[in-house]
Structure formats: C-alpha cells, structure tokens
Amino acid sequence: MARMKFLCDAERCIECNACVTACKNEHEVPWGVNRRRVVTLKDGEPGEKSISVACMHCTDAPCSAVCPVDCFYTTADGIVLHDKNLCIGCGYCFYACPFGAPQYPQQSAFGVRGKMDKCTFCAGGPDADGSAEERTKYGANRIAEGKLPLCAEMCSTKALLAGDGDTVSEIYRERVLRRGGRPQTWGWDKAYGAS
Amino acid sequence: MKKINRRPTAGWRDRGKRWLAWPLMGLLAILLLMPVAVHWLSEPAQAQASSQTQEGSNERANYWRAVRDGVSGYTAVQGRETNVLIQNGGENWRSLRQGPIQFYSAWLLAFVIFAAGLMHIINGPQKIEKGRSGLLIPRWNLFERVLHWYVAVLFIVLALTGLSLLYGREVMIPLLGKSGFAAYAGYAKNAHNYLGPFFVVGMLLMIAIWLKFNMPIKADWEWIKSAGGMWGKKHPPAGKSNAGEKLMYWQFVVTGSALIATGLILDFPNFGQTREMMQWSHVIHVVAAVIAIVTLLGHAYMALFGVEGALEGMINGKVDVEWAKQHHDLWYEEEIAKGVRPEPVAKPPAVTRRAEPQST
C-alpha cells in the first residue's frame, strides 16, 4: 500500500501560487479558507526560498491526538481525513498542528469557528466517494478517480510533489544527485518522524 | 508632630519587624515573574537554536533550523500567522494536555471525592452540638443568595462542559458513541463559550462584595491549626467567614482571575491572538479550573453533607443561633453587639395545613 506524502522542493518553487489557486478552485473552498499557502522566506533578500505548505498528513497526527470528539482518521494510504459531521469547531487541532493546516470558515466571538476544513490530499471525506455530500463538505475526491492532488499535478516547476512517499523521495533523490547540493526534505522529520 | 512623623520609620527600622519585608518582597517578585517564567518555559528551543546559529558554520543548515524554530516570511494568504511555516508550541501544548494535565487532574478529582467520602465515614457530619435553639439570625441577604446560586449554577455547567471536552473522548465516547458524543460536545462547547462571560460578571461581583469579611485575622491561624475543629475538642473562633472559607475565597480570587483572563482570550479568537497565546491560555485555564473544581467539591460537601445547618443560610438566608455560635462565634457576637435580634422560627404551616380541604 502506498504511503502518501507531500514534498516541496525549495530550490524549484517560484512562488507562483498556482497550487493555492488550483486547490481553491478544485475544491470550491469558501472565502477566507486556504487549504494550501506559499510562504516565502527572506523575501527579496539573498537566500530567498519559497515553500508551498498544506496539511502534511502526519504519521502521528497531532490534530488527531487532541481532537476531543475523535473525528480524525488515517486512510490505508496514510492520508489524514476528518469527519465534519462530528467536528464541533473547538480549535484544538489548530492549536496542535505545527503547519497551521486546520482552517475555519469563521473566527468570531464566543469561539464560533464553524466546521474545521483542511487539505484532504484530494481524497474527500468519510461520505460515499464522489457523492454530492462529499463534494460540498470536503471538495473533490481525485484519489478515488485514480488521480493525484491537483496542486502538485499542475505545479509548473514540479517543485511540489505528491504521491507515494517512496516514489516522491526517489524522484527527489535523483534531482539532488543531478544538480548537486544537499537534500532538503522540508517538514518531513516533523510530519513523518525520523525515518 | 515630630513624634507622629517618626513613628512609622522607627518601626520599620526596628530589627524585629524588618524580616517581614523579605517574604513580602519575595511574594511580589514571584507574582511579577510568573508571566516571564511561562515565557521561559517555551523559550529554550529557540534560545538553543540562536546560539547554534552563531557558532555553526553551515549557513544552509541554520537556514532550515530557523524554519523549524518558527521563523516567519511572506505569504499572499491573508490571516494570522499564515506566514509561519512551523509553529512548535502545539507540541508542548499537546504533551502537557494529554500528559500531566489529564493524568494528575483525574487523580486529584478522584482523590478529593474519595477523601470527602472517607471523612464522612470516619468523622460523620458535624452536628449542631447543643441542638437547635429555634432562634434564627440573618446571615445572607437576598442579593447575596441570588448571586451565590447564579455563580454556582454557572460554575457547575461550565465545569461539566469543560470536563466533557477534557475527558469526553476517553470517558463518554465509549458510552454515547462518536456521533452521540459529538452532538453533545457541540452543545457543551457552545454552552461553555456563551455562558462563560455571564460567569465573569457574577464571579467579579462576588469577589467584590465578599472581600470585606474575607480579610485574614489573627484568629484564623487558630482555626487552621485545629483544622476547623477536626483536631481537638474546642471549636476554633471564626468571624462571618472562617479560615477555610477565606482560603477558598482567596483561592477563587487567584484561579477565578486566571480563568476569566484566559477564558476571554480563548473565547474571542476574533481579536487575532497568536497560537502560542492560545496554547498557554488553554494550559492555565485547565489547571486553574481543576483547582477550582476540587475546592468547590470540598465546599459543596461541607454545605450539603458535612455540616448540619450550613446550607440553610444560603437558602433561607437565616441560620440557627446555636449553629452561628458554634461555627462563627465572632460574627455572632458582632451581630448581637450591632443590635441584631434573633427571631423565633415561624410556625404558620401547621395552621394552614389544617385549613386545607382533606381528601377522603
């Protein structure tokens, strides 16, 4: 079985934000919610690097561990999903996540947040694959159609890689071998442990 | 003139009293340093990283180390902290919450319930020793009673809903199932968030109006030494509030203010608090809440089962004179000195009952 992972190659990302736009469009994510974002470090200075970040689908997911209603589950492909029928919008997953992945449609007085929304690795949710209910709650389910996440699929420089962890790291390893320098599997130690 | 001016300074310079200044200053220093200490606890990782950055020769490694330590950049996505790639505080928060907080809180709550039960079995309830006199003396006025039950009801609701979020996953999901518990937890969360501000008002008002008789007096030490009359035959002296009640009051001043401050931070995410602030607020909120709950369990035990005649004061507003003499002798004497005259228990029910039509 595959173990799905994201990898963003900081040497290739050009901060075009196409992944962000593709994600918003594919899943029709409401205004104010961004499942994916691009962060540029040292913007305009020597050593500028950009990274596209979303839910990393952690091995030992902190969101899942702290959720008081236990609404998270990990699929056989290692994708961390959640059930919006159970979510109470308490914000705990947002406190726990190191990547700032959990998003809320609201952030208003008296802790009103609405149901949490986050990157699904384009794998929908617990509702029936491809159903209208799944689409309105979680967006498209590309994985069920045999496709990979759209953000990575349409990345113009192929900086963002998504897919089975072994394949992704093999592609990245070859790249580093060709271009020289050292590998930088950003966020991997945090999300997937030391392995 | 001169004498009046010199007296306080002379007293201050006096060796005998000078030592008092040190514990007071120490206390002040601790209070002032508390927020700083909280900050230090979250600091070591960053401090370590910056020292490595200076010493290390590998610029590239330092670059990514800074990212792991939460350095911020630029992002087109609007929102609070969206420009931070990694925020590590959540892991501290998670390990504190899932670790010591959940573990020790559960044991503390269990211990207090067990201890109250054990005390009840061994000591039994404290009876009114000389029996009821039939004379009543006013203790709590209507406003105080309404305020007390207003705060009490809100506290119970807030405590139960709060504990539901802390232990619901372990305790209630096996009973209700995931969807059952999620439905309840949704209401619990809303109840907690909307009722919290009402509790703030009651709590602050209560602290304000009951301050005057909760200032420590000399006799309190005697009360503490005999544990409220549990050790030794003689009942220790007490004013309107005994030393135990005063300790509860001051415990509430501390935990109540902590709960209010952190609760408001957590309840209004619209002001754009950082995650770090939310995480630490949450930790302080839970710790303060558990201390308050444990204290209130003791208080509720005393009022409901532990001390005969105590609950009446908070329901009818009046207490039996013998109860007052036994538990709050100094207060009783004060009231009598003020000219308050105990009144006999009214007995109209016997008459009205006879007048009611009897069913055959």
CATH number of the domain at B314, please: 1.20.950.20
Number of compact structural domains in chain B: 2
B214 & B82 share domain: no
- Locate B259 and state its tokens: 């709960």
B275/A95 touch (CB, cutoff 8 Å), yes or no: yes
- Considering only CB atoms, A68 lies closest to which of B81, B87, B168, namely B168
How large is the average pLDDT for residues A27-35?
93
Distance (Å, whole) CA A96 – CA A61 = 9
Q: What are the chain A neighbours of B194 within 8 Å (beta carbons)? A: 110
Place of tokens 């609760």: B263
B84/A69 touch (CB, cutoff 8 Å), yes or no: no
Among A38, A69, A189, the strongest candidate for a mutation testing the B interface, having the largest count of B CBs within 10 A, is: A69
Report if residue B146 sits inside a domain.
Answer: no
- Considering only CB atoms, B86 lies closest to which of A32, A70, A99, namely A99
Residue A160 Cα, gap to closest chain B Cα (Å): 15
B218 & B313 share domain: yes
Domain that holds residue B274: 88-140+210-347
The three-class DSSP label of residue B126 is strand
- Considering only CB atoms, B86 lies closest to which of A32, A70, A190, namely A190
Report if residue B197 sits inside a domain.
Answer: no
As a 3-state breakdown, chain A gives helix, strand, coil percent values, each rounded to 5, of 30, 15, 55
Report if residue B97 sits inside a domain.
Answer: yes
Is residue A55 within 8 Å of residue A121, measured between CB atoms?
yes
Q: What is the pLDDT of residue B54?
A: 52
Is residue B328 within 8 Å of residue B242, measured between CB atoms?
yes
Distance (Å, whole) CA A187 – CA A35 = 17
B275 & B294 share domain: yes
A112 forms beta bridges with A108
B239 & B249 share domain: yes
- Locate B20 and state its tokens: 């008092």
Please tell me what DSSP assigns to residue A51.
Answer: E
Q: What is the pLDDT of residue B349?
A: 52
Judged by CB atoms within 8 Å, which residues 331-360 of B form the interface with A? none
ipTM of the shown complex: 0.92
pLDDT tens, residue order, chain B (360 aa): 444 444 444 444 445 555 666 666 776 676 666 665 655 555 544 444 444 545 556 888 889 999 988 999 999 998 889 999 999 999 999 999 999 999 999 999 999 999 999 988 988 888 888 889 989 999 999 999 999 999 999 999 999 999 999 999 999 999 999 999 999 999 999 999 999 999 999 999 999 999 999 998 888 888 887 777 666 667 788 888 989 899 999 999 999 999 999 999 999 999 989 999 999 999 999 999 999 999 999 999 999 988 888 899 999 999 999 999 999 999 999 999 998 889 998 765 555 445 455 554
Report if residue B271 sits inside a domain.
Answer: yes
Distance (Å, whole) CA B258 – CA B102 = 19
B108 & B251 share domain: yes
B144 vs A: CB within 8 A: no
B177 vs A: CB within 8 A: no
Residue B42 Cα, gap to closest chain A Cα (Å): 15
CB contacts < 8 A, A to B, total 136
Please tell me what DSSP assigns to residue A143.
Answer: G
B225 & B241 share domain: yes
As a whole number of Å, the CA-based R_g of chain A is: 17
Place of tokens 């180390």: B65
- Locate B52 and state its tokens: 């490595």
Instruction: Show me where the domains of chain A are located.
Output: 4-190
Q: What is the pLDDT of residue B272?
A: 85
Distance (Å, whole) CA B324 – CA B306 = 16
Distance (Å, whole) CA A161 – CA B272 = 32
pTM over 0.90: no
Distance (Å, whole) CA A123 – CA B272 = 31
Q: Which CATH code fits A4-190?
A: 3.30.70.20
Distance (Å, whole) CA A48 – CA A71 = 38
A42 vs B: CB within 8 A: yes
- Considering only CB atoms, A51 lies closest to which of B85, B91, B166, namely B85
